[in-house]
Amino acid sequence: MFLIPQLLILSVFIVLASRTGTENPAIIGTLAYFSVLAILRRTVAVQHRKGIAHFRKEEFAPALQRFKQSYDYFCRHKWIDEWRYITLLSSSRISYREMALLNIAYCYGQLEKGVEAKEFYQRTVREFPDSAMAKAAIEMMDSITSEPPQPST
């Protein structure tokens, strides 16, 4: 379902390329599609992309700040996130705001700030009640901190 809008947009690029009289409209249209995709990801979702780069290097403190900036940006421009299938050519099922909150929580966890991590997972569930990842993280954290059952004597 999430791939369909991307295929439709790719088709539009191919049709536009065919109208220019080029010999290979499929190749030209596909190249144009991926060029626009790269530009959008590098400009509109720049903080998210930079956060991921830090994340991959296990630089969790700077990643945390980038994800917070990404969250703030997409909160100010919710329509970009809500229409990400078109505005960012993204086929992701979850929004950039939800991704940012999940990544913020994870970064806090990696920085050994469990309280803040749990708070952000809970915030994710409040803002995105269907967030399976946040719910699973909370359950895992709760299971770690719960008292083990006492053996009966």
Asked if residue 120 lies in contact with residue 101, where contact means CB atoms within 8 angstroms, the answer is yes
Residue-wise pLDDT tens digits, 61-104 = 999 999 999 999 999 999 999 988 888 888 788 999 999 999 99
- Residue 109: Cβ within 10 Å count: 18
67 and 31 fall within a common domain: no
The alpha helices in 77-151, defined as continuous H runs, are 78-82, 84-87, 96-110, 114-127, 132-145
8 and 63 fall within a common domain: no
Q: Domain span at residue 28?
A: 1-43
36 and 51 fall within a common domain: no
Domain count for the chain? 2
111 and 92 fall within a common domain: yes
- Does 150 reside within a domain? no
Nearest Cα to Cα of residue 73 among 56, 54, 50: 50
57 and 110 fall within a common domain: yes
26 and 53 fall within a common domain: no
Residue-wise pLDDT tens digits, 20-67 = 888 899 999 999 888 988 888 788 889 999 999 999 999 999 999 999
Give the burial class of 67: count Cβ atoms within 10 A of its Cβ; 0-12 exposed, 13-18 middle, 19 or more buried: buried
Nearest Cα to Cα of residue 71 among 45, 37, 41: 45
> Taking the model in full, what pTM does it have?
0.79
